[in-house]
Every structure is written in C-alpha cells, then in structure tokens.
Amino acid sequence: MNLDELDSDRPLSRRERWSRMMEEQGRRVQRWVTIGVLLILPVAFWLIFIAREKGFESGSMFKRERAAAEWKAKGESGQKAAAAAKASGSGEVGKSAGGSLLGGIIGGDEGAPLDPPKRPAPERYVSTQEMERATRMQKAAPPAPPPQAEKQQQEAPKPPAEPRVGAERPAQSVALKALDDQGNAVQVTVETNGPVAVGNFRLGGSVLGHRRLQGDLVNWAEQTLESARVELDFLDRNGHILARRQLDPLVIAGGVFGDQVKPLEAGMSRVFGLDARDLPSAWKGAVRARVLTYTLAGREAATP
C-alpha cells in the first residue's frame, strides 16, 4: 500500500474540502468565460458590420424623420413662392422660383435660395426746365481732353541726351602741394588735356627705402586705355628744367622679354611711380607733367 492510497482513505478536513470546492468552482467559471468570449466576440463583430452596412450610426435613429421634415419644409416654401409669383402676375418670376426650387430639390442643396420677385423700377419723368438746365451746363463746361492726349501731355518726350565720346577737357595748369618723406613742401604742376590725365604727385619711400615719385593716372574716356606716354619735367626753384623723364604709366612690371602692360578701364585710375634716386640734387620737388600720346581701345593713337 502506497502513500496515495493511505491519503485517499484518510478523511478530509473542513479546510481541505473548502479549498477543493473553490478550485473546482474557479475552473468551472474559467471554462464558461472562455466559451462566452469565443461565442460573443464573433457575434459582436458581425452585428457591428451589419450596422455599418445598413447605415445605423450613432444618433441616426431620427434620420428618416429629419429627412421627411426637411422635404416637407422645401415643399411648403416652393408652394409659397409659386403662389406669390402667381399673385404678382410676373411669369418670369414664377419660372425663376420654380427652377430654383426644382434645382434645390434634385441637387440636394438644402440652402438653395429662391430668387426674390423682381419689381419694375418706377419711371422718372424729367421736366423741360431740367433738360434745358442740363444742356446749358454741358455747353458751358470745357471739353475734356481724351485720356490718350492727357497721358501724352503728362509724359512729354525728353530730348535725347547727347552721347559721350570722351569729352575733351581744356588744357589747364594745376599747382598741387604735397609733402615729401622729410616733410618739405612739394609743388607739383599738372597739365591736363583730353580724356587722359596725370596728377596727384607725391614723394615717398619704396619697400627698399629708396626715394620714389608717385602719381595717379586717370582715364576719363568711355573706352579702355591701352597705352599712354607721359613726360615729367623736374624744375628748380626758378622754374628751369633740371631733368626730363618719359615713361609708360601702364607698365606694371619689367622683364627680360619686355615690359608687362596692364590696360586701364574706363573711368578708373591707377598709381604709377618713378625712381627718384638719379635726379639732380638741386631738384626740390617741383614737377610738371603732361600726357604726350595715348591709345584707346578701337582707336588709333592720339595726342592731347
């Protein structure tokens, strides 16, 4: 005899009987809940599907009654409009009202407005005195110019501007004052003639510390300056020429194969320089400069 048989023969206590009964009841409840869920869920989904197919949405239980009431209201408004049109004696108004009503009913437009009955405007009679007064005022008023003529008067054509072709400037002698590197006053005389000019000379030092005379070259023409020749006269205090130099201010670098020239665009200026170490010691800073020749783009060489 094993222990299980001994336990089965043993009488159960009250607590053990109660626990076994609750376990059995719990298993029974769980079984019924499972069966209910398996049966109720498909039925619920089927009912929801049928309800959506037939259009039974929430709050739609009065849908048919509402539609019937709206249809009735449309019918009554159409009858009233037709009666009013017939009473006024206007056939066109009746047709318009009937057409609007029919269009609103067929198209389903609940807010389709009906055309109001059109009443003819009252006739206004003008007296002979008013006609004469209006005629006199019309004759006394000045004739209004046509809109096209008025526009032409406002927008009067301006005379065409004369084309600029590098206006020649009169020859002039300008005395400029500057300071050299020692602070001494320097008098520079510049002679300009034509569209190319040089000026604004000043004494200064180069990168290597040498004395150097610098000036500005200005192109007043409307074409590019391709070449130029400038002559500089170095004067003493009495105005006598101590030395004379000629140079091309467009040269930016020199080399074995020739000088490198950079043209000057129209309306632009450039700084050029000259080494002043080989100038006479009697020179005190007076310079006279003038342009000898110049060549513009597309033109022949010219002299001022």
C-alpha 217/C-alpha 228 separation (Å) is 10
- The tens-digit pLDDT sequence of the chain (304 residues) is 444 554 556 777 888 888 888 999 899 999 999 998 899 988 998 888 887 776 554 445 555 666 676 766 666 556 666 666 666 654 444 444 444 444 444 444 444 444 555 665 555 555 777 778 788 777 776 666 666 655 566 665 555 544 433 333 333 334 444 444 454 545 545 545 578 888 888 887 766 677 788 889 999 888 999 999 999 998 888 888 988 989 888 988 776 677 788 999 998 889 888 887 777 778 877 888 899 999 998 877 777 6
Contact 225, 304 (CB under 8 A): no
CA distance 144 to 254: 76
CA distance 184 to 84: 112
Helices (H), 89-189: 91-107, 128-140, 147-154
User: Model-level pTM?
Assistant: 0.38
What CATH fold (topology level) applies to the domain 172-296? Answer: Immunoglobulin-like (2.60.40)
Scanning the structure block, which residue is given the tokens 């009746």? Answer: 94
Residue corresponding to tokens 């300071």: 179
Query: Parallel, antiparallel, or unpaired for β 251-253 and 211-219?
Result: unpaired
Rg, the chain, Cα only: 57
Tokens of 271: 């700084």
Q: Output the CA angle 174-221-201, nearest 5 degrees.
A: 30
CA distances from 117 to 72, 82, 96, 105 (A): 23, 10, 9, 20
Spell out a b/e string for 15-27, using b for 16 or more CB atoms within 10 Å of the CB, else e.
eeeeeeeeeeeee
